[in-house]
Amino acid sequence: MIKQTTTLSEIMTTKVITVDISERVEEALRLMIKFDVGSVIVTDKQRPVGIITERDITRASLRGDSLLRIPVRGLMSKPVQSVAPDTEVWKAFEIMLKLGVRRLPVVGDEKLVGMVTEKDLTRWVLRIFYEPSLPEEIRTLVQNPRIEALTGRPTCPNCGNYQDECVCVRTAVSPEE
């Protein structure tokens, strides 16, 4: 049975896609497409400092900005509103409604540890509603195999970020050059 004091650490997505603040919007958009996500967290020395969403990119493109070439720091929403992993689910609902946002980064010890999204909250509500007998067709809706497919991505030996997000790996000169 799901307890009513569920915390975000129990329902959040732990595989969060990030982009370094030094990158261009093109890279953020490339990551959103590659991982089929609606946002990326902008980090500076692995600390979350902003967020870029599909909505941010859409609005900027209508202004006629040369969007892909600008640094992410010029487009990101900041400061990034975040919550702690021990925040109760109802509080996340409240914060998201007050701020009019669809996702909240989860930060513990000043490090990004996850993200809670509208989808995460919807899955939680469905589990609560159907407890204790979750029908099989609902069970498949509340599980999230797509995110699990992101596990096992290689990390950079220098900074620990995922290699496809890491500036170290992308800018390293190979030994044969």
Give per-residue pLDDT as tens, 16-68: 999 999 999 989 998 998 888 889 999 998 889 999 998 888 888 777 657 77
- Cα of first residue to Cα of last residue in the chain, in angstroms, is 58
Domain 8-171: which topology? Answer: CBS-domain (3.10.580)
State the pLDDT at residue 170. 40
**Pairwise CA distance, residues 148 & 158, whole Å:** 24
State the pLDDT at residue 162. 52
Give the residue ranges of the chain where pLDDT is below 70: 1-4, 64-65, 134-135, 137-177
Q: In terms of pTM, does the model score above 0.85?
A: no
**Pairwise CA distance, residues 48 & 103, whole Å:** 14
